[in-house]
Amino acid sequence: MSHQSGRHFLQIPGPTNVPERVLRAMARPTIDHRGPEFGRLGLELLEGIKAIFKTKGHVIIFPTSGSGAWEAALVNTLSPGDKVLMFETGQFSFLWQEMAGKLGFDVTYLQSDWRHGVDAAAIEAQLRDDRQHQIKAVGIVHNETSTGVASNVAAVRKAMDRAGHPALLMVDTISSLGSIDYRHDEWGVDVAIGGSQKGLMLPPGMSFNAISEKALSASKSAKMPRSYWDWQAMLANNKNGFFPYTPATNLLYGLREALQMLQDEGLENVFARHSRHGEATRRAVQAWGLEVLCLNPAEYSSSSTSVLLPAGQNADEFRKVVLEQFNMALGSGLARLAGKVFRIGHLGDFNDLMLAGTLCGVEMGLAMAGVPHKKGGVQAALEVLTQAAKGARVEAAPARA
Q: Does residue number 301 form part of the binding site for ligand PLP (CB under 6 A)?
A: no
For 107, phi then psi, to 5°, come to: -95, 130
Q: Does residue number 67 form part of the binding site for ligand PLP (CB under 6 A)?
A: yes
The span of 64-72, 233-241, 284-292, 311-319 binding ligand PLP (CB under 6 A) equals 64-72
The span of 130-138, 168-176, 307-315, 331-339 binding ligand PLP (CB under 6 A) equals 168-176
**Residue spans of alpha helices (H) in 266-302:** 267-288
Q: Does residue number 14 form part of the binding site for ligand PLP (CB under 6 A)?
A: yes
Q: Does residue number 332 form part of the binding site for ligand PLP (CB under 6 A)?
A: no
CB of 95 to ligand PLP, least distance (A): 7
Q: Render 348-386 in DSSP notation, one character per residue.
A: SS--HHHHHHHHHHHHHHHHHTT----S-HHHHHHHHHH
Instruction: State the number of CA atoms in the 13 A half-sphere of 319 facing the CB.
Output: 23
Q: Which of residues 131-160 bind ligand PLP (CB under 6 A)?
A: 141, 145
> Rounded to an integer, what distance in angstroms lies between the CA atom of residue 285 and that of residue 203?
29
Counting every residue written for the chain, the total comes to 401
Query: Which residues share a beta bridge with 192?
Result: 171, 210
Sheet holding 304-308, edge to edge: 9-11, 328-332, 341-345, 304-308, 291-292
Q: Does residue number 174 form part of the binding site for ligand PLP (CB under 6 A)?
A: yes
Using the minimum distance from each CB to ligand PLP, give the nearer residue, 15 or 19: 15
From residue 192, alpha-carbon distances to 183, 268, 366 in Å are 10, 20, 38
The span of 23-31, 63-71, 182-190, 306-314 binding ligand PLP (CB under 6 A) equals 63-71
Q: Binding ligand PLP by CB under 6 A: which of 16, 55, 112, 175?
A: 175
CB of 167 to ligand PLP, least distance (A): 20
Q: Binding ligand PLP by CB under 6 A: which of 39, 44, 50, 65?
A: 65
Q: Binding ligand PLP by CB under 6 A: which of 178, 194, 195, 254?
A: 195
8 A C-beta contact, residue 315 and residue 291:
no
The span of 1-9, 132-140, 169-177, 274-282 binding ligand PLP (CB under 6 A) equals 169-177
Instruction: Provide the binding-site residues for ligand PLP, judged by CB under 6 A.
Output: 14, 65-67, 92, 141, 145, 172, 174-175, 195, 204
